[in-house]
Structure 1
Amino acid sequence: METNPILRLDYPDPDVIRVDDTYYMVSTTMHFMPGCEILRSYDLIHWEHASFVYEVLDSTPAQRLQDEDNIYGKGMWAATFRYNKGFFYILFVANDTRKTYLYTSKQVIGPWKKQHVEGFYHDASLLFDDDDRVYIVYGNKQIFITELREDLLGPKLDGLHRMIISEDWNPILGYEGSHIYKIHNKYYIFLIHSDAKEWKRIEACFVSDSLDGTFIGGDILNDDMGYRNQGVAQGGIVDTKDGEWYAILFQDRGAVGRIPVLVPVTWKNDYPVFGEDGKVPKEITTNSHNLKYIYQPLVGSDDFIYDFNGMGKDKLKSFWQWNHEPDSNSWFIDQEKNGYCIRTQKLAKDMTQTNNTLTQRMKFPSCAAFVTVDGAKLNDGDFAGIGALQGCFGMIALTRENGKYYISMQARKAPNTSLGQESENAHGVEYARIPVESSEVTLKLSVDFMNQKDEATFYYLTENGFIQLGIVHSLYFKLDHFAGCRFALFTYSTNQYGGIARFQNFVYE
């Protein structure tokens, strides 16, 4: 018996498929790269990394963090994942380029073929029908279905195109997050929306005997698992080899992000019933056909000892993603001293706008990480450290000024708790600074997300253990980044670029 949520990490907008006895899940990765991560499972409860669909997307100036550009709060999201006649299909939009992307592969591990689809399809879902015709369902408030050409790269001339569901009257969040399936010889569309009187995610389903018929339905899950009125909704459904059905949805958990929840699905008169007596079970079990399998962790420590076999750069461990597209010429692994190194290539205002920041998801309900920073090659005005990456960031870093070293704790406070407002104090504020004699320090960040406490505390290591520096900083999930808070290893220059920082022995607690 396992507990819900099944993953206590930020994996929003999930879609899930089964191929034989293996389940695969894709989720939104926004601005992080490599992107469009696919997870693998044999029991729908335990998951591990399978692959990234792309290393970089379009290499636009904003995706590369060129100058002051960025794609925070944009990038890829809400992919649809399908397997049909020996091919995997992933389709999503990127909200910075305003393009629709189709990736196909014979294997989950790739290589993936990249193509563009004519049009822009918000929260899209693909349907491969029994007659080999292909459709896409998409939209916000107004949900449309459009028949695609045989190559899937655009609408089919004179093909089906119609609005099938509308909720444009909802002042908070109308229907979106489409997932379409053909089951029991009927067509089912699963959607998310909010209660019209207060913000709360609710799962809905509509069904029709045909794609040109009337879709009838309504809400099928309105439950917060007893957690702060945060509803559970939006995701895919999947069957097991034994004929059972499950949905993987997500729930907002504050600054840590949106985390997956597994919901049993039964059928009554060919209509889906989510949960048990209208509730998401807090404990859940499934049947596995691979009981002895050992899953690799989705987060973890790294000693940065990599053997690239003299072939140059290779991939880092799969739990790392860069904040944006990395600059491959300005990061490297120091194989003599075992460290991840960043050489700054521009001036930056703060940790959010610097290249090659290495990130990992934070874990609910609490977690911590520490890392040793070697700043012997920093320039005056450089900062190198560990931070809580979000719009209202917090950080602790080694810095150099007039040839002397200091530890600095900085943060950008949020002006309010609303979802939509961006943070104030564009450059952040320094709340504490102490001098240090060494160019090598060990810095720590701990976070507490329980009951949306959402606080970050910063430390530095002394002979007597870790000592707190600066304030306890409040974190918030906001639309400016639209992603869960992450640990971030960063270096940035404020006066002269070209400085180098080395990160050693990252420990995830």
Structure 2
Amino acid sequence: MKKLLLSAAMLLASMGSQAQTATFKYFKYDGNDARFDKKYDPSSQYLNPVLAGFYPDPSMCRVGDTYYLVNSSFSFFPGVPIFTSKDLVNWKQLGHVLDRESQLPLDNQKVSGGIFAPAITYNPKNKTFYMITTNVGRGNFFVKTQDPAKGWSEPIYLKEVGGIDPSFFFDKDGKGYIVNNDEPVGGHDYEGQRSIFIHEFDVKNDKVVGEQKEILRGGTHVDKNPIWIEGPHLFRVGKYYYLMCAEGGTCEWHSEVILRAKNPMGPWEEFGGNPILTQRTGLDPNRQDIVTSAGHADIVQTKKGDWWAVFLGCRPYEGDFYNTGRDTYLLPVTWKDGWPVILEKNTAIPTVNDKADIIPTADKTLTTGNFGYTDRFDSQTLDIRWMFLRNPSEFFRLDNGLVINPKPVSITERKSPSAVFCRQQHTVFSAETQVDFTPGSDKDFAGFTLLQNEEYNFTFGKTLLGGRPAVVLTRAEKDRVVVGSAFITGNAPVKLKIEGRGRYYDFYYAEQGKEWQLIARGVDAVNLSTSRSTGFIGACIGLYATSKQ
């Protein structure tokens, strides 16, 4: 589970010699954000976010002294990254829940399609983990296992559960329930109105029983016409059941709200202090280390009895623009008069936070803070950081580098390109590679892609320009334009480097044995932001080759 399951030994078995391969010798990444450049004691303090970059919609559970956390993955494969931790602070990726195409069909789905809002739950009655989610192209389903390290079942689809964001709850008496977001009964009364439904679940036979019930229509009364009530989680504390939901949409008006009842079917009582988490009002818009869009939370109790919440938030570089996507944050939960509160109103989410019982780790963290790494592709399998877009075919091997056989597929298509992707985790970062590639036509390309979706992206690499080898930079914001180009000598390997500083990126190249040359400075990369592109992912850095650019 610690490495991607596509074995390098088998990946070129079916490849012909019809196209020139592209060999990426290494990939180097460095992140250096000012917000993380702070002194803190890692034995008693931690940094937010705890998972930096494109790790949205967190859900977690605890079994014994181990916490398990999952995130949305949309149309990337493998799907649903799963992490473990002993202290809620230091997370290590165990693998992916959905690591087989039979579990995760993604054909023809847009980049921000695929997997929405996975929820992980443990049922102590049958000692089984459940992960339930929405595949936008197929419907709601769940998989299960008794050991997340050993893989998960084939998907069990739930045709009776509509909408999105399903989540399990297993009561003390063994009964199971699913809550989800869907269109209100009889249709919505205004744009953005949604409802939360509950279904009884037959644990023994893995199926929904009876009719669904609408338990919350529209949302809470924080607003006159609340919008996008979603991401529901049901849990029990003492005599009360609690229904915790995201509300307000996953942008600047995002929040988390709470209700309670003495029966899972209701009636539900709203908390008068809602929302229990938000960053939308009462804060200085020019505050340092700004975090916005906080919401979509999940909650867990430690063995010692205290409570903690994980949730998504964003790190904008200006306005509502952020290229790093939606991160995972951690904050303590305070109970007041029988209600959980994640963050007091008009309180900014801090970067440095206090916490007892942090377990020091010798592993170099690549999940938060400032860090760098170099991947020389010298293992038998790809590192777990690398992802594919949609269901990949056999297009690469590891042989003294990452060797890609270019497919006639462009990143502008809803197909699976010959590319591997990792996350841009910092606002200030650099990414570097060396590619050895001999293009045969102006359709052939090998180098970097920076991806937000099919229409919003960059390509930066080697191709032919007027029949001559060249390095070319293109920017797409619906329309694709060439930002810069430079002719290069012969077919020797070329180095490529990207340096990002918030909204603006610089692009460099270096021919073999020569100094770095600037191809374009201060290029506007706002097209990689969620607000501009209307996508759900964070920007991803791809090593990409194609015969159809």
1:266-312 per-position Cα deviation (integer Å, ceiling 9, x unaligned): 111211122356633432132337434536535842101124xxxxx
User: Do 1:76 and 1:93's aligned partners in 2 also have CA atoms closer than 8 Å?
Assistant: yes
Pairing 1:260-299 to 2, within 5 Å after superposition:
260-275=328-343, 279=347, 280-288=349-357, 290-292=359-361, 294=363, 297-298=366-367
Q: 1:5 to 1:349 in 2, by over 3 A?
A: closer
For residue 2 of structure 1, give the secondary structure of its aligned residue in structure 2: strand
User: Do 2:254 and 2:294's aligned partners in 1 also have CA atoms closer than 8 Å?
Assistant: yes
Residue of structure 2 in register with 1:303 after alignment? 376
User: Do 2:110 and 2:414's aligned partners in 1 also have CA atoms closer than 8 Å?
Assistant: no
Which deviates the most, 162-171 or 87-96? 162-171
User: Do 2:278 and 2:345's aligned partners in 1 also have CA atoms closer than 8 Å?
Assistant: no
Residue of structure 1 in register with 2:391 after alignment? 325
1:90-127 per-position Cα deviation (integer Å, ceiling 9, x unaligned): 00011122x11211111112321022222334111110
Q: 1:112 to 1:347 in 2, by over 3 A?
A: closer
Q: Give TM-score, length-normalised by structure 2.
A: 0.77
Pairing 1:420-435 to 2, within 5 Å after superposition:
424-425=478-479, 428-435=480-487
For residue 174 of structure 2, the aligned residue among 109, 116, 132 is 132
2:231 is the counterpart of 1:163: no
2:275 is the counterpart of 1:219: yes
Shift, 1:172, TM fit: 7.5
Matched residue type, 1:167: G
Q: 1:331 to 1:139 in 2, by over 3 A?
A: same
Which deviates the most, 280-289 or 349-358? 349-358
1:152 and 1:121 map into 2 onto residues whose CA distance is 22
1:319-376 per-position Cα deviation (integer Å, ceiling 9, x unaligned): 1111221112x22122xxx111221232537588562311111112321110100103
User: Do 2:388 and 2:416's aligned partners in 1 also have CA atoms closer than 8 Å?
Assistant: no
Q: 1:374 to 1:102 in 2, by over 3 A?
A: same
User: Do 2:198 and 2:265's aligned partners in 1 also have CA atoms closer than 8 Å?
Assistant: no
Q: Give TM-score, length-normalised by structure 1.
A: 0.83
Q: 1:152 to 1:142 in 2, by over 3 A?
A: farther
Q: 1:365 to 1:474 in 2, by over 3 A?
A: closer
For residue 62 of structure 2, give the secondary structure of its aligned residue in structure 1: strand
For residue 287 of structure 1, give the secondary structure of its aligned residue in structure 2: coil
For residue 109 of structure 1, give the secondary structure of its aligned residue in structure 2: helix
Matched residue type, 2:213: H
For residue 133 of structure 2, the aligned residue among 81, 92, 96 is 92
Matched residue type, 2:169: L
Residue of structure 2 in register with 1:188 after alignment? 242
2:146 is the counterpart of 1:106: yes
2:344 and 2:244 map into 1 onto residues whose CA distance is 18
Q: How many residues align?
A: 460
Residue of structure 1 in register with 2:524 after alignment? 473
Shift, 1:164, TM fit: 3.1
Residue of structure 2 in register with 1:498 after alignment? none
2:419 is the counterpart of 1:364: no
1:405 and 1:350 map into 2 onto residues whose CA distance is 23
Structure ranking higher on relative contact order (CA contacts 8 Å, 6+ apart): 2
Residue of structure 2 in register with 1:421 after alignment? none
Which deviates the most, 281-290 or 173-182? 281-290
User: Do 1:46 and 1:295's aligned partners in 2 also have CA atoms closer than 8 Å?
Assistant: no
Matched residue type, 1:145: I
User: Do 1:200 and 1:229's aligned partners in 2 also have CA atoms closer than 8 Å?
Assistant: no
Pairing 1:19-418 to 2, within 5 Å after superposition:
19-58=63-102, 63-64=106-107, 69-85=108-124, 86-97=127-138, 99-114=139-154, 115-119=156-160, 120-140=162-182, 141-151=194-204, 153-157=206-210, 161-167=213-219, 173-194=227-248, 199-217=252-270, 218-223=274-279, 226=287, 230-253=292-315, 254-275=322-343, 279=347, 280-288=349-357, 290-292=359-361, 294=363, 297-298=366-367, 300-307=373-380, 315-328=381-394, 330-334=395-399, 338-348=400-410, 350=412, 355-376=417-438, 379-391=441-453, 392-401=456-465, 404-413=468-477
Matched residue type, 1:489: L
1:38-62 per-position Cα deviation (integer Å, ceiling 9, x unaligned): 01122212222111112244599x8
Pairing 1:496-507 to 2, within 5 Å after superposition:
none
Which deviates the most, 292-301 or 123-132? 292-301
Q: 1:409 to 1:172 in 2, by over 3 A?
A: farther
Matched residue type, 2:308: Y
1:435-455 per-position Cα deviation (integer Å, ceiling 9, x unaligned): 111421011122223xxxx33
Q: 1:170 to 1:383 in 2, by over 3 A?
A: farther
Q: 1:190 to 1:465 in 2, by over 3 A?
A: farther
User: Do 1:88 and 1:104's aligned partners in 2 also have CA atoms closer than 8 Å?
Assistant: yes
Sequence identity (%)? 23
Unpaired stretches in structure 2, ≥5 consecutive residues:
1-44, 183-193, 316-321
User: Do 1:59 and 1:325's aligned partners in 2 also have CA atoms closer than 8 Å?
Assistant: no
For residue 255 of structure 1, give the secondary structure of its aligned residue in structure 2: coil
User: Do 1:352 and 1:389's aligned partners in 2 also have CA atoms closer than 8 Å?
Assistant: no
